[in-house]
Structure 1
Amino acid sequence: MPRIESTAARLAKLGFADGARAARLVAGLTPTPSTASVVEELLNDLVRVADPDLALTSLTRLAERDPDVLAALHADRPLRERLFAVLGVSAALGEHLVRHPGQVGLLAVPELEEARAELLRAVGAEPAATEPRASTTTDTLVALRVAYRGRLLHLAARDLTGQAAPAEVTAELSDLAGAALEAALAIARAEAPDGLDTVRLAVIGMGKCGARELNYISDVDVIFVAEPRDGADETKALRTATRLAQAMMRACSAATSEGALWEVDAGLRPEGRSGPLVRTLASHLAYYRRWAKTWEFQALLKARPVAGDLELGAAYVAAVNDLVWSAATRENFVEDVQAMRRRVEEHVRAEGERQIKLGPGGLRDIEFAVQLLQLVHGRLDPLLRRKATLPALAALSRGGYVGREDARQLAEAYTFLRQVEHLLQLHRLRRTHVLPTAEEDLRRLGRALGTQVNPVGEFTARWRRHAMEARRLHEKLFYRPLLQAVARLPESESRLSTSAAAARLEALGYVDPPGALRHIAALTSGVSRRAAIQRTLLPVMLGWFAGTPDPDAGLLGFRQVSDKLGSTPWYLRLLRDETAVAARMARVLGTSRYATGLLTNAPDAVALLGSDDELATRPAAALLAEASAAVSRHDDAEAAVAAVRALRRKELFRTAVADISGLIDIEQVGVALSELNDVTIQAALDAAVAKVTLERRAPLPTRFAVIAMGRLGGMECSYASDADVMFVHSPPAGSDEREASEAAFAVANELRRLLALPAPDPPLLIDPDLRPEGRQGPLVRTLASYAAYYARWSSPWESQALLRARFSAGDARLGAEFTATADGLRYPTGGVGEDAVREIRRLKARMEAERLPRGADPALHTKLGRGGLSDVEWVAQLLQLQHAHEHPSLRTTQTLRTLRAAVEEGLLDAADEAVLGEAWRAASRIRDAIMLVKGRPGDSLPAGAPERRLIARTLGYPPDGSEDLMDDYRRVTRRARQVVERVFYGS
């Protein structure tokens, strides 16, 4: 007893969960000193298996049946490793060996004979025999099961010791199942030999058996196809074939002292369990062509002849393959497959995430995603027509349909989950896919997968990581909108054949089909991965381009961007995997030459197209921080401003896309562009000050600020706006004012030079002409000089211009001092007098008469035309000059905000404000649309119908809506002009 207790402690330390029980079992194995030394050596290997307690239990029982087994194991280390690996995982195979200890010797054989020959011999039917000699006695069924399990034992041993790769294991299990079906068919023939010469019967493996990726324990899915032999009656032949099929199924599933093999499931046949068990090939094809549901074609993807008449089976598979690879063209094919997957998920929801086959992140997630991609793309790419999941996934990756990293992660997850599934099933040789919760079971799984330290925690973490990745990638690939688009394409269009494509492109709305075909050829020719992905993308994108205002420009822009980014690993992967990016990119390129130009010069901005969040306007503070950091990284002023302009280019693109996508309104566009211009001016000013300071070898002797004027000051910039500004500086008291002015002048000139440097992006031109005395006056003045000028010389138009003045860049305190100085002029105490009002009205009338370009239609000029921007802005500014001194809410630089404040203060009727606001927004949207569409500014709606049509489409009108746009604009501006006549002119 003390010896057992001591042994128990030692065994527990070695890794046995129940040391006392293990000690008793060891004591039973060591009746003599000679066996004790043998057992001691065996124990050193036994403790390394997945479950030492389980292995020791089975070994003890095996030694009781065959006492010589210990010596054999001691003498043959490879045999010992194989047997212990099995006993440490599979209680069921341990039981089998206890019943059949002679099969231990199988584990000493590196390679067994061909399975089909062995199993046929086991049931008394030689492979080459023309007449079956099998009987249906219980002994025959038992012999089949014993021989089958012996093969299973041999395979499990090689699997668990790493001598067979996972793919080899599943393939061998599938072939073993085929051999068992052949043996069962031999039993069936012997049971009912009558009529065998009248029929040919083929057994088609489906599901995992057909794909050669079967589990250790699984139903074997089959379909039976039969043909009468020459001259035989079809009805009688089918009756004989049905009898054979039924007997074959019974031979596999019948209960015996050795249990059953597995269920043979013929439920995937036409009409399921309600349909005939056996059909002719013609009957199968007639059903599939007329009645089959989407899921049946998905199932047929795996079909493979496995037993019976293999020639007939091959003919069946060849015939249904044509249907399988055209199934994706069926109406709602992709949606049907996705809906079926959702129904499966609902069915297994009770088992939750621990269902590693059907649950979220399980095997079926991976298999369904791979199969759907195969069926959609495989109709045109024969290289994708693989039955097994991992080879199909590899082919999808090689063809560019799945990213390499995504494919790698899916393959790793699939392999891991299949290994776990096998370990679960080996334990009791039961069909299960649910992870256990008991710690001892999880420990066995973890150790079987190679984790000795913390096997439960390590296994759980690996499983959750793989399941999470599998689910993420499943949702990414399986619900990829690109699949629906590809599936719906006619085959001629999908192949982009030259003859049919030109006509198709013209029908889609391409003005230059030959030019479009040249772009397509340039993008898709060759055997590179890039060309392969383009061949997948382009058929869909051509349709998306066709839905934009200018398909030809969209395709040209796509080629230009692709030429710049085509060798960048993430670009095409992003378009393929994130369909929202590709769809939005098509819309932008086919709508806006302005945005296309920005993108071709900042192609990495494609990444912004993925989500609405990416297109949200960035806060000015964040932009300024990024711009300042860019300036600080460069000692050279030109390089610093080039970096800032690259940032501006990207942000202009962000704003343009958000505008085109309807994510921001015209007021938000104006604010975003104005803030971006402020940031650009500030960053360029920093670079200019740094350069001037370096050249002077002294700090700047004055404070310097940039005052925004015009549309910049009003936070109403358009894509084509210049930056109207004034420059102000303020030297310290007692300093040399001349030196300060020279330094300030140098800074202002350098700022203008830096922002005017040639660059691929739209320039930000600095326009200082609104300064006192215009172009004749000094470029830069001191604050005191501005105050003196305005006090003595200012005209009414200058007071009106100052209504837009606000701080933009430079010294913020100086900017505040300037605007405080301006307040006295723009918000005069008591408001402007009648004389000033008459002067303002006279200036407005003169501007309408003189500044409108020659030949321009006053009804269609968005800036100076009747009811246009100028009309609305002058109304707002007159209200400010008259009333802002007593109504602080009017003290804003923004037009629409002024009008709303005037309504709140009772100075303007709400209906008038609505009319004026509608006209201002319409004119502003059209001005921006002109720049977006043409890539160059314009103030009038184009006279040419094609350009007008593009602008109308960009603004949301239907393809034939250009006249509607004209009518709508005339209507809103006519109403606005009536308000202007009454409110501004007092008519």
Structure 2
Amino acid sequence: MRAASRIQTTAGRLAALGFADGARAERLLTELGPEAHGDLELLGELLRAADPDLALLSLTRLAESDPGVLRALRESPLLRRRVIGILGLSAALGDHLARHPGSLEAVRPADRLTGSQMRAELLRAVGADPKSDEPVAGLTGGAALDALRIAYRGRLCHIAGRDASGEAGLEETCAALSDLAAAALEAALAVARAETPGATEARLAVIGMGKCGARELNYISDVDVIFVAEPKEGADETKALQIATRLAQSLMHACSATTPEGSLWTVDANLRPEGKNGPLVRTLESHLAYYRRWAKTWEFQALLKARPVAGDPDLGRRYAAAVGDMVWQAAARDGFVEDVQAMRRRVAAHAESTAPGGRADRQIKLGPGGLRDIEFAVQLLQLVHGRTDPALRHRATLPALAALSRGGYVGREDAKALAEAYRFLRRVEHMLQLHRLRRTHVVPSDPAALRRLGRGLGMTTDPEGEFTATWKRHSFQVRRLHEKLFYRPLLQAVARLPESEVRLTPEAAKARLEALGYADPEGALRHIAALTTGLSRRAAIQRTLLPVMLGWFADAPDPDAGLLGFRQVSDRLGTTPWYLRLLRDETVVAERLARLLGTSRYVTGLLLHAPEAVAMLGSPDDLAPRPASALAAEAASVVDRYREDAENAVAAVRALRRRELLRTACADLLGLIDIEKVGEVLSTLNDVSIQAALDVAIHKLTAERGRPFPTRLTVIAMGRLGGYECSYASDADVMFVHEPLPGAAEREAAEAAHAAAEETRRLLAMPTPDPPLHLDADLRPEGRQGPLVRTLAAYRAYYERWSSPWEAQALLRARYCAGDAALAEEFLALADRLRYPVEGVPSADLLQIRRLKARMEAERLPRGADPTMHTKLGRGGLSDVEWTAQLIQLRHAAAVPALRTTRTLEALRAAAGAGLLDPADERVLADAWRFASRIRDAIMLVRGRPSDSIPTGVKERAMIARALGYPPDGSEEFVDDYRRITRRARQVMERIFYEG
């Protein structure tokens, strides 16, 4: 009973320390003998193993085969750490050591063996001379193959021991595995030569492909190869190829055949020209002829990894050099990028359809967020950019990724995340394959297996949970970055450029600039040099971007202005880490920026004062107009922050306005909003700005006076502001209304209201880098001669006694803008009696309105202006449409409530809906109004200064046409369209306005 209690206690203690089966662990330790049972260092090493139970079981079997092993492990802590590490990870290598304990000697060396040392070791194992490739009478048949396998696995144990003990990192382990595979191929070729008559007549080179070629091989994997042969001097080529084919077949058999010692791995030659249907062995010239004429895109991608690994070294080097030149020019092939992307999708779809249990997400190689996602992205970037940047020409993934990061092709953080994920996934892959020495890439769902993986990665608190969480995190990151990099549109654009243009040499650049239509190639070259010269990361990224962006600038109306603007914005943001990264990674931003800078001086000017706004170009959501409530809240917050400094407060509000003007202009030019929305957004933005400035002005005056503000003050929007039809160049037409507070003196209230109105105007128009907003109050009673601010009673008295028909017409646009909303409502109720007269428009007033319209056309049209090209006062222009709509409103709005709107197009729609306007006429008038409004805005956007006339200059007219969406040669089409649309509108206007 006492003995059972002791065993139970010991078993429990071992279970608590980390053994899954404490009782079995107790029994196995006892079987190892008292020295092992009391060896705390050995016990500690077992408990550090990925699977302590597996390590102890395998150690027991090893000790049965070689009783001296425990003493050897005690004497060498390094050997103990390596052996226990192997046994805890790999049941297969544990079996090998138990069968061949002599392999422990291969585990013992402190340092890794070089590739040539492993080659010599495996050649000696099969009885070949490491210093000669001549056939020797060494081991043949099964004896040679078993000897090769035993020597190979002994050396594999050394690599795995250094890996498991942490002495070797991933890159060193993969390189060692690749060198070991190359040594095995060399030894297999030696066996083949010994068994093949006439072997001396053929030179055969074995080209490693895939991970073997890149020196990033797994523990167990197919070894991809290509065979290239030449006859020895004086030998017949046909016979030599036959001999070389037998050598290749014998080599493949020597590696893949199953013997009592198992097999090494499959030698896969299916990456050769024509795949399985092509000859196994070709001459170098035959290979090159095929690649020049028939090779597909994926074959060049595969050749990126090609490296001589065995056989004739000189022939192998010549093959690698010849195909290397082709690899780095392959990206210039038509559809190269699209082909690689399509192939990746096919691979992913195949992995999804063939995954066991439909669980492709557990595939760490082919599944989403797996190794292939990283490798394909890296290879595509290499192939596209590597044709002009030799620094990218690495076979292995991690060195290539590091070079891409150094060159600015991949962001530092993105490269770091991909490298971390790649190392993690490769280590998991290694542990999965080591366990049984089987080719697998599926993460098991068994908790014990997940625990072994987690412990093998150093996770001790919750190995299963920590491993799963880390794996999912890396997979998510890889998938996100793969989508970002692999499908980057910039790649397609770069791939399509000739090499001379990608390199941006001065001569090639100048020729290209002239061909693209740059007016000043010399000036453009100076901008290019300023942006790309030097060794900085900034310059490197610019060298990637500019070859493509030059074409995008050329697609814009003014390439020279676009490039200049890009240089200026880049200079402003040059030290900002996100700017160039954004342009490189989010190609839509770079393309949009090029288009905007090459189209609009207005946008360029706004960007130069707020270059950080480039960030908003990345998404339609970022360019979408912001709600009025959000703008008002932000403006109020800004005012509150600077409340005691009026000028700074309004300067901050105007900076907000500048940002929103830029947002609107970009969305407008990119076709994301229509002209009605542009007018509404600009008008709302002006409302918010006026309200903020008025708040500041009243607060300032109240503080200066030392007593409450004595009157209510409201701002009434008029004209285009009132109609929600502001353009980029519009002043804000307003009227000021005030009403003294109870007990306030009228004179004091009037003076305060006047001061607040003037201060509001001053603050919005004061000189700053931001666009001013001029408040125009000339539509008030008596115009400039009348008081700036009146009381509600004064307005009523004026309108009842002195009002003219044109003032009633002007009030059709009146609406609340800012200030006291209740007072505005009272004013608008007063305005309704004038603008929506119940009795209609008297004949005398109608005649006066028509005469005023005719006189305006005759007198206000600028001298020399072409009336068919003036968007505001010209025939069929804005004035014609607006006066027509307004006349209908004056005559019928009292009876048709839908006509009581300040918006022109809304009034036309209401008139058509009420049967007051033929729907066809409504469409003609609306089309003319939209087109004329778009042109006015386009003139401001393109030139950076306003005009109501379509320019007569060919270049400016062409630029405006392009901004409106016409093709490069569409200037005349644009003018013809405008004349046709406005001519039809004029006919409708004359019929309705003058005759109706």
Q: Which residue of 2 aligns with 1:57?
A: 57
TM-score, normalised on structure 1?
Answer: 0.98
Q: What is the alpha-carbon distance in structure 2 between the residues aligned to residue 388 and residue 94 of structure 1?
A: 31
* Contact 1:4-1:24 within 8 A present in 2 as well: no
Which residue is 2:162 aligned to?
Answer: 158
Equivalent position of 1:179 in the other structure: 183
Q: 1:493 aligns with which of 492, 498, 501?
A: 501
Which residue identity lines up with residue 360 of structure 1 in the other structure? P
Q: Is the 8 A contact 2:63 2:69 kept in 1?
A: yes
The one-letter code of the counterpart of 2:305 is: K
1:821-867 residue CA offsets vs partner (Å, 9 max, x unmatched): 21122122222222211111111111111111111111111111111
Runs of at least 5 residues in structure 1 that lack an aligned partner in the other structure: none
Bigger drift between 573-582 and 653-662 goes to: 653-662
Q: Give the counterpart letter for 2:222 in structure 1.
A: D
Residue 403 of structure 2 is aligned to residue 399 of structure 1 = no
Match of 1:168 among 169, 172, 175: 172
Alignment of 1:138 onto 2:142: yes
Correspondences of 1:229-240 after superposition (within 5 Å) = 229-240=232-243
State the SS of the aligned residue for 1:307: strand
Question: Is the 1:827–1:880 Cα contact (8 Å) retained in structure 2?
Answer: yes
Match of 1:815 in 2: 824
Q: Distance in 2 between matches of 1:71 and 1:518?
A: 75
Query: Given the superposition, is the C-alpha separation of residues 972 and 129 from structure 1 closer, same or farther in structure 2, using an over 3 Å criterion?
Result: closer
Contact 1:627/1:683 (CA < 8 Å) preserved in 2? yes
> 1:35, 1:324 → 2: CA distance?
58
1:361 pairs with 2:369:
yes
In the TM superposition, what whole-angstrom CA distance separates every residue of 1:81-124 from its partner, at most 9, and x where no partner exists? Answer: 22111111111111111111222344333125521111111111
| 1:896 aligns to 2:908 (yes or no) | no
Paired amino acid for 1:949:
A
Whether 1:226 aligns to 2:229 is yes
2:968 to 930, 940, 959: 959
Residues 1:535 and 2:543 aligned together: yes
TM-score by length of 2: 0.97
* Separation in 1, partners of 2:334, 2:508: 23
Q: C-alpha distance in 1, partners of 2:191/2:543?
A: 52
| Match in the other structure for 2:650 | 641
Cα contact 1:927–1:938 (8 A) shared by 2: yes
Deviation at 1:315, TM superposition (A): 1.1
Paired residues of 2:616 and 2:623 also in contact (CA < 8 A): yes
**Given residue 95 of structure 2, which amino acid in structure 1 is its aligned partner?**
E
Residues 372-387 of structure 1 aligned to structure 2 (within 5 Å): 372-387=380-395
1:566 and 2:574 are equivalent in the alignment: yes
Confirm or deny that 1:880 pairs with 2:889: yes
Name 1:788's counterpart in structure 2.
797
Tell me the secondary structure at the aligned position of residue 168 of structure 1: helix
Amino acid at match of 2:96: H
Single out whichever of 451-460 and 14-23 deviates more from structure 2. Answer: 14-23
Q: Which position in structure 1 is the counterpart of 2:869?
A: 860
User: Is the 2:112–2:159 Cα contact (8 Å) retained in structure 1?
Assistant: no
Deviation at 1:41, TM superposition (A): 5.1
Instruction: Spell out the pairing of 1:898-913 with structure 2 (5 A cutoff).
Output: 898-913=907-922
**What letter corresponds to residue 186 of structure 1 in structure 2?**
A
SS in 1 for 2:494: helix
Amino acid at match of 2:586: E
> CA 1:472 to 1:130, structure 2 compared with 1: closer, same or farther past 3 Å?
closer
Show the counterpart of 1:36. 37
Which structure 2 residues correspond to residues 705-716 of structure 1 after superposition, within 5 A? 705-716=714-725
CA distance in 2, matches of 1:5, 1:499: 86
Partner of 1:525: 533
Structure 1: distance between partners of 2:519 and 2:625: 35
- Alignment-derived partner of residue 330 in structure 2: 327
| Cα deviation code 1:640-664 (max 9, x no counterpart) | 2221122111111111111111111
SS in 2 for 1:976: helix
Aligned partners of 2:107 and 2:154 also within 8 Å = no
Instruction: Tell me the equivalent position of 1:109.
Output: 109
Amino acid paired to 1:596: T
**Residue aligning to 2:46:** 46
**Do structure 1's residue 580 and structure 2's residue 581 form an aligned pair?**
no
Output the amino acid matched with 1:599. L
Contact residue 204 and residue 222 of structure 1 kept, 8 A: yes
Per the alignment, residue 80 of structure 1 pairs with 80
Correspondence for 2:564 among 543, 546, 556: 556
Q: Is the 8 A contact 1:135 1:191 kept in 2?
A: no
Amino acid across the alignment from 1:376: V
The count of aligned residue pairs is 983
CA shift digits 1:728-760 (9 cap, x unpaired): 222212212222222222211111111112122
Following superposition, the deviation at residue 76 of structure 1 comes to: 3.0
1:397 and 1:404 in contact (8 A); partners too = yes
Is structure 2 residue 442 aligned with structure 1 residue 441? no
Hey, what's the Cα distance between the residues in 2 that align with 1:197 and 1:190?
10
- Cα deviation for residue 786 of structure 1 reads 1.7
Deviation, structure 1 residue 19: 2.5
1:207 and 2:210 correspond = yes
Describe the SS at the equivalent of 2:38: helix
Alpha-carbon shift at residue 772 of structure 1 (Å): 1.2
Whole-angstrom distance in 2 between the partners of 1:775 and 1:333: 69
What amino acid maps onto 1:415 in structure 2? R
Task: Please tell me whether residue 589 in structure 1 is matched to residue 597 in structure 2.
Answer: yes
Q: Give, in angstroms, the shift of residue 537 of structure 1.
A: 0.7
Matching residue within 302, 310, 321 for 2:313: 310
Amino acid at match of 2:246: R
SS of corresponding position for 2:49: coil
Contact 2:29 2:36 survives alignment (8 Å): no
Tell me if the contact between 1:22 and 1:56 (Cα under 8 Å) persists in the aligned partners. yes
Counterparts of 2:509 and 2:909 in 1: how far apart (Å)?
A: 54
1:678 match: 687
The answer to whether the aligner puts 1:13 opposite 2:22 as a matched pair is no
Q: Tell me the amino acid that sits aligned with residue 72 of structure 1.
A: A
1:437-836 aligned at under 5 Å gives the runs: 437-634=445-642, 635-836=644-845
Structure 2 residue runs without a partner (length 5+): none
Amino acid at match of 2:585: D
For 1:34 and 1:883, how far apart are their aligned partners in 2?
Answer: 111
1:64 and 1:11 mapped to 2: Cα distance? 22
Mean CA deviation greater in 205-214 or 904-913: 904-913
Residues 256-301 of structure 1: per-residue CA shift (max 9 Å, x gap): 1110111111111111111111111111111110111111111111
The residue identity in structure 1 corresponding to 2:163 is: D
SS at match of 1:47: helix
User: 1:386: how far off?
Assistant: 0.6
SS at match of 2:873: coil
What is the aligned counterpart of 1:985 among 962, 977, 994?
Answer: 994
287-296 or 634-643, which deviates more: 634-643
Q: 8 Å contact 1:5–1:23 — kept in the other structure?
A: no
Q: Distance in 1 between matches of 2:35 and 2:539?
A: 72
Contact 1:508 1:543 in 2 (8 A): yes
Q: Compared with structure 1, are the counterparts of its residues 874 and 380 closer, same or farther at alpha carbon in structure 2 (3 Å cutoff)? A: same
Secondary structure of residue in 1 paired with 2:319: helix
Shift of 1:35: 4.8
Give distance in 2, aligned partners of 1:659 and 1:389. 44
Residues 238, 34 of structure 1: CA spacing in aligned structure 2 closer, same or farther, 3 A cutoff? closer
Q: Is the 8 A contact 2:183 2:310 kept in 1?
A: yes
Contact 2:527 2:564 survives alignment (8 Å): yes
Please provide the CA RMSD for this pair: 1.5
- Assess if the C-alpha contact under 8 Å between 2:654 and 2:771 holds in 1: no
Cα 1:134–1:629 change in 2 (3 A) is farther
Mapped partners of 1:407, 1:909: distance in 2 = 64
Segment of structure 1 superposing worse, 42-51 or 451-460: 42-51
